[in-house]
DNA sequence: CCGTAATTCAGTATGATTTATTTATGAAGA
DNA sequence: TCTTCATAAATAAATCATACTGAATTACGG
């Protein structure tokens, strides 16, 4: 058996996209900087095709714009595709990580309650039951102190609600929520025991959706997100005594 | 003076991205179809580099995935970047236009009220005043029956609120709102005279933001979006007697 | 059944050529 | 002298064509 999780050496253009994307997101490559393709070739020791493909991708993300006779120009943040998964990751990896986290939390705060509301209006009986059972298992895992299982079910629950909204644009944000939840766990910003209220709220969301009570579903989901942010902020402030960062 | 709005012949790779993107969004190229680079070369009469750059871009949008020895495979909708401006346009141009419009309206319904709420908490005095004055001009244009001016100001108003939210991910969605508003106007789905209530609601949003009344701002903006959808649906149903589509 | 070779694509490299755009140039006109 | 405008030169991206590398799959032979 070969090692199951060894990335089989990513393609060169992928690496270059990564490098440039990170540098632009970080600000190392400032807006309005001009890059020339042939210098990128030499700096990164790759061929023109690789450079072209990479820059082309970054152009479509709004991070570059290539103009004849000028070069390819680094674009300001306003034109980036802030919803592109890669851009999100780059921003999370940059020094503006906290700003990005806040933006993502606010986005989540806008989307998830609305998704819950729509789910309550649209979810099939089956989907409703699935959500209720998911919430029950989540509740059990929370009370049983099984952190890994709790995280897994939490992610699955929120993905299920988003999916039940019937709006593909909402469904797609399950990746977002996933990143936020795992991010919180990885950085030790999660309380050892999930708050009882939070557990109950998940159950409330599920049963409201099952019963078609749109406004209750919306309200409960709003509380979940609010609590999430509050908890994170609280534990964050404990961890970070004045004078720290990163 | 040369004609000001003549596109200077788009680059070949751009055209190819467009063609393939449209075909995939439409479903002409179904998920799991396999494309080969050299056949694309011949079919579109372009060189290898053009094909590679185009497919690379579509890969980064999640619409293609290229695998060695296999070819490049068309991906299902779930993996597309539904927030990419190009993808949004392609979906709006496809036969699923109505579904996409609904999804976008629901997204807007989630984002804008939350943006108004945050704007109320964060907007500077100056930004608040600007909003109020913008709303006043909007109100005047609405009452004066100046449709073009009304549309222009409406777009500007919503963009300003999104910007005032302080969340760049929200700000970026001003393009979305713009497309929805202009789309409505272009398709004759706009009442000749904007409803008085709608005009008043815009004023309400602005003054709530100026005063820092987050919940009022949220509520008023919610009503605006609700009304927008209702109006569109109403006029839509009048235009489309039973048995029509397109 | 397993290991090896052949096959088949995408990935990379490189040289030559075309095209759009800016900048420089210069001639005609005020 | 200074403008104006057309024209030419320069530059870097865009395109084309070809060759070569490498990974994954299939076919083959033991």
- Which residues face B64 on adjacent strands? B74
What is the 8-class DSSP label of residue B13? H
pLDDT band at A214 (very low <50, low <70, confident <90, very high): very high
Task: State which residue has its Cα closest to the C1' atom of D12.
Answer: A69
Bases along strand C below 7 A from a protein CB: 7-15, 19-22
User: B100-117 pLDDT, tens per residue?
Assistant: 999 999 999 999 999 999
Query: How far is A71 from A21, CA to CA, in rounded Å?
Result: 17
CA distance A127 to A139: 18
State the average pLDDT over residues A121-131: 97
A36 is in which domain, residue-wise?
A: 12-79
In a shared domain, residues B219 and B182: yes
Confidence category of residue B234, pLDDT binned at 50, 70, 90: confident
Mean pLDDT, residues B21-46: 98
Whether B17 sits with its Cβ under 7 A from any strand D atom: the answer reads no
Instruction: Kindly determine whether the C-beta of residue A34 is less than 7 Å away from any atom of nucleic acid strand C.
Output: no
Do B227 and B109 reside in the same domain of the chain? yes
Looking at residue A241, its pLDDT comes to 57
Mean pLDDT in residue range A196-203: 95
Whether residue B186 lies inside any domain: the answer is yes
Return the pLDDT at B236: 76
**Within a domain: A134:** yes
The strand D neighbours among A residues 60-99, by Cβ under 7 Å, are 66-72
- How large is the average pLDDT for residues A65-84? 97
Please report, for residues A23, A79, A93, A216, B83, the alpha-carbon distance to residue A61 in angstroms, rounded to integers and kept in the order given: 14, 8, 17, 38, 11
Which of the four pLDDT bands, split at 50, 70 and 90, describes residue B2?
very low
Question: Distance, in angstroms, between B185 CA and closest chain A CA?
Answer: 24
Query: How deeply is A81 buried, as exposed, middle or buried, from its count of CB atoms within 10 A (0-12, 13-18, 19+)?
Result: buried
> pLDDT averaged over chain B?
92
Q: Does A17 touch chain B (CB under 8 A)?
A: yes
For the stretch B150-194, pLDDT in tens is: 999 999 999 999 999 999 999 999 999 999 999 888 887 777 777
Report in angstroms the alpha-carbon separations of A60 from A64, A172, B18, B228.
Answer: 8, 20, 12, 31
The residue lying closest to nucleotide D15, measuring its CA against C1', is B47
Q: Which of B54, B79, B104 is the last residue of a domain?
A: B79
Q: Give kind and range of the element (H or E) at residue B7.
A: none
Angle at A114 between CA A109 and CA A118, to 5 degrees: 155
B7, pLDDT greater than 80? no
Which protein residue lies nearest to nucleotide C15, measured between its Cα and the C1' atom?
Answer: A48
Residue-wise pLDDT tens digits, A152-167: 999 999 999 999 999 9
Query: B126 and B185 share a domain?
Result: yes
Say if B86 is an interface residue toward chain A (CB within 8 Å).
Answer: yes
> Mean pLDDT across the stretch B198-209?
97
pLDDT, greater one: A235 or B12: B12
Give A2 to chain B, closest Cα distance, Å: 20
Residue B3 lies in a domain: no
CATH number at residue A21: 1.10.10.10
DSSP-derived pairing of the beta strands A34-35 and B64-67: unpaired
Nucleotides of D under 7 A from a protein CB: 10-19, 22-25
CA–C1' B2–C29 (A):
23
Residue B50, CB, strand C, below 7 Å: no
Same domain for A172 and A209, yes or no, is yes
Integer Cα distance of A174 and B234 in angstroms: 33
Q: How confident is the model at residue A30 (pLDDT cuts 50, 70, 90)?
A: very high
CB contact under 8 A, A169 and B106: yes
Distance from CA(B66) to C1'(C7), angstroms, rounded: 18
Report yes or no: A202 and A139 within 8 Å, Cβ to Cβ.
yes
Same domain, A195 and A144: yes
Please give the tally of structural domains in chain B.
2
Per-residue pLDDT at B59: 98
- A127 with A171, same domain? yes
In this structure, the answer to whether residues B32 and B111 fall within a common structural domain is no
pLDDT tens profile B63-114 = 999 999 999 999 999 999 999 999 999 999 999 999 999 999 999 999 999 9
């Amino acid at each position: 058996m070969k090692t199951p999780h060894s990335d089989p050496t990513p393609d060169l253009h992928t690496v270059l996209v990564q490098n440039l994307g990170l540098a632009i997101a970080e600000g190392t490559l400032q807006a309005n900087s001009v890059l020339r393709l042939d210098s990128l070739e030499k700096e990164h020791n790759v061929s023109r095709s690789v450079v072209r493909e990479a820059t082309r991708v970054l152009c479509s993300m709004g991070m570059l714009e290539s103009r004849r006779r000028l070069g390819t120009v680094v674009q300001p943040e306003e034109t980036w595709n802030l919803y592109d998964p890669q851009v999100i990751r780059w921003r999370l990896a940059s020094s503006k990580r906290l700003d990005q986290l806040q933006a993502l939390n606010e986005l989540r705060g806008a989307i998830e309650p609305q998704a819950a509301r729509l789910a309550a209006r649209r979810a099939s009986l089956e989907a409703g039951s699935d959500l209720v059972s998911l919430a029950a298992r989540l509740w059990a895992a929370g009370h049983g102190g099984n952190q890994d299982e709790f995280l897994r079910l939490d992610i699955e629950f929120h993905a299920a609600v988003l999916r039940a909204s019937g709006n593909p644009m909402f469904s797609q944000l399950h990746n977002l929520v996933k990143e936020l939840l795992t991010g919180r766990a990885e950085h030790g910003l999660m309380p050892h025991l999930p708050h009882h209220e939070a557990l109950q709220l998940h159950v409330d969301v599920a049963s409201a959706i099952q019963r078609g009570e749109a406004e209750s579903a919306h309200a409960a989901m709003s509380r979940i997100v609010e609590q999430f942010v509050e908890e994170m902020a609280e534990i964050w402030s404990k961890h970070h005594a004045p004078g720290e960062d990163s």
